[in-house]
Structure formats: C-alpha cells, structure tokens
Amino acid sequence: MIIGITDPMRDEATYAQYAALLQRWVPGVETQRLSCRTGTFLEIERCEALVIAGGGDIHPKFYGREEDAGLAKEVSVARDLFEFDIIREAMERGLPTLGICRGAQVFNVAMGGTLLPDLEAAGHPSHRRGDEGERMHGVTVAAGSFLRNIVEKEKGEVNTSHHQAAEKVGHGLRVAAVSDDGIVEAMEWEEPWEKPFLLLVQWHPERMGDTDSPFSRQIIQRFAGAVKSAYAQK
C-alpha cells in the first residue's frame, strides 16, 4: 500500500512526522512524497490514499482576497497550483483523503470555499502555536457528522497551530467541528454516502501529545481502514 503525502516544504523532520503516524497504524505502508519541488505529480497514480499536509499559507488571490496578500505567510503559488491539481486527481481516482491544517484549507479553496486570511486581524483570539509548545483548545463535534461517528464524542481538546481558517465552506462540504470561539475546525463531505473517506481537520493528529486521543488515534485508524479497503479493491 502506498499513501501520498504532500510536501510540507519545511525540514525533513516535519515530513517524517506524517510518515511515522501512518506507518504506526498501517504496518508495511509505503509513503510517497508529492511535491512541486521535485515534480512528483504523476506518483499520485501509484497511491491508494492521500494526506494533504500542513505548511505555509494559500495565496489569497485563489479565494478572491488578493488585497490581503500581506497577511499570508510562507506563500508558494507553485505549491498551491500543484495541490489543487493533486486534489482534483485524488477526487477523480476516489482516493481516501485526510487534510491536516493547511491541507484542510487548500481542499476548501479547491472546492470554491474561502478563508479568513488571519484570525487575529479578523478579531478572533489567537490559534497559533504557543512559545512553550503545543497550545490546546476545545472543539465541539457536529451531531450526525462523519467525524462524530469516528471520535464518538461531542467535545474534546485538540492542538492548534494556525492563523487562517475556513470562512465560506466549499461546494459539497460541511462543517464537522468548531472551536469554542466559533472557528471551523473540521470539514467533511456534505453527503458522504458512497463517497471515499474525506476528513479535513485544522489540528495536527501527527503532533498530538496524547496519542490515544480519539481526535488523533481514532481518526488515523479509520483512515487506515479506508486505505486498506481501497488497496483490497485494486
């Protein structure tokens, strides 16, 4: 089994965190880095699933707010375009997909959604990572959602390390969880029936200190199950 992971475009340890999380729950899995820097787009054809990793911001011009470009950080238009294409290809192939932080945001934009380019500038409390390490906050999971079915909880605590978030949710998506201050923290298919696994989360399951948290372990286990099913059907 091969799972594609988009390139976080940071140090090697960042990519390794995503790979290690998958290898823990999907023994023997191979990971394939998908990167605009190395031109590995066609490698998506080898993959049974896709993880869209975190990293820098999507350029605001892709969601109609080019005037807010100054609020964006670590922007790479080449990465944005590459990942829009990867998302389209993954959807056409019916690949189970997990979007993490930026991954959730870029999928939302790919589906015609918009982002708040900076939460603090928009008047919201900071969701950035703290100086002392991971910052945590509460989330409420929508009743009847796919995410609720996975975590089996209405409320929980997740880590947070972002300054952008979904504003208008993209076509075909719905909100699956919100933070205590009302920020979109997870999205999923609006009509998930007979569609491949899709979960988009703002938090970082690969960095959760509590590895037994249902907001980390149970999400990855369910994703792993979807990957195994996809592999068995090939």
* 190 is an active site residue: no
Catalytic residue among 101, 127, 185, 188: 101
d(CA 9, CA 54): 9
State the number of CA atoms in the 13 A half-sphere of 18 facing the CB: 30
Dihedral, 17, 23, 25, 31 alpha carbons, nearest 10: 90
Catalytic residue among 48, 185, 188, 206: 206
* 132 is an active site residue: no
* 36 is an active site residue: no
Task: With beta carbons less than 8 A apart as the criterion, state whether 211 and 153 touch.
Answer: no
Task: With beta carbons less than 8 A apart as the criterion, state whether 9 and 190 touch.
Answer: no
What phi-psi label fits residue 106: left (phi over 0), alpha (psi between -120 and 50 degrees) or beta?
alpha
Catalytic residue among 59, 127, 162, 204: 204
Active-site positions read 101, 204, 206
